[in-house]
Structure 1
Amino acid sequence: MKIAKHKGLKRVYFALLNSGKGFIWLINNEAAFKQEFIISLLLIMFSFFLNVSALEQLLLISVLGIVLIVEIVNTAIEATVDRIGLEHHPLSGLAKDLGSLAVLFSLLIALATWVVVLWTI
């Protein structure tokens, strides 16, 4: 049985609607995402007061976006693993640990980027 798919602007509309639902779910259910999102908003506002080039500001904002993207992917991995089964399995734990590691790396890259840019002001 083939599932009918939306096309054109209707597809874009439903994609945005589903993205909005995902964002609201994250804000309401994932403390880590909510914290990272709020901190990112504050840092983005702070970046407009820095004496940096437009390219440096874009870099500062981009690394914050990467942290949020990686956190979203990590949450998707966790949800998928939990959907498969809640019983403990070494591969399930590994998948979640690797997702967490990806978030840690993105946070370290963002921190290093902000430190280097702020250090050179």
Structure 2
Amino acid sequence: MTDLSDPKTARELKGGTGLRRMINAVGYSVQGFRAAFRTEPAFRQLALLNMVLLPIALWVDVSPAERAILMVTPLLSLTIELINSSIEHVVDRISLELHPLSKSAKDMGSAAQFMGLVIIAVCWGVILI
């Protein structure tokens, strides 16, 4: 097993320092988007929702601040879904056995995503109605 308390080992696992680390981080992010799109139907649905809402946010006649809110809220929900999916994957990696804490972790991730959708509905509703 790798000793993660050694800063040198931890740095090597993260892919170096400086510009190399930043380039690696972008690559890891792209891999994360690909994995989410490939394995998570909810992520694909939210990506589609973003493809619909973001152009509408650019098209409607609102103030710049309102436009920013209309654009950020769907992106926020997409971000929440990435976090929710990562929680689900980690819980499943630990064990597929039914456990109250595993269920609670997954349910809270789902609740976070529900709140993201409520935020979209409230912000879009207040701004456009």
**Smaller-chain TM-score range?**
over 0.9
Unaligned stretches of 5+ residues in structure 2: none
1:38: Cα distance to partner? 1.3
Among candidates 69, 72, 84, match of residue 62 of structure 1: 72
Aligned residues: 119
Structure 1 stretches of at least 4 aligned residues deviating more than 4 Å after TM superposition: none
Alpha-carbon distance between aligned partners in 2 of 1:48 and 1:73, rounded to the nearest angstrom: 27
SS in 1 for 2:59: coil
**2:62 match:** 52
Q: Tell whether 2:40 aligns with 1:30.
A: yes
Note the C-alpha offset of 1:42: 1.5
Distance 1:48 1:18 in 2: 30
Higher relative contact order (CA 8 A, sep 6+): 1
For residues 1-121 of structure 1, the aligned pairs below 5 Å read 1=3, 2-3=8-9, 4=12, 5-119=15-129
Amino acid at match of 1:113: C
Q: Which amino acid is the alignment partner of residue 30 of structure 2? A: G
State the TM-score, normalized to the length of structure 1.
0.94
Residue 7 of structure 1 deviates from its aligned partner by 1.0
Give the aligned residue type for 1:112: V
1:32 Cα deviation from its structure 2 partner: 0.4
Q: Give the Cα separation in 1 of the matches to 2:76 and 2:49.
A: 13
Root-mean-square deviation over aligned CA pairs: 1.0
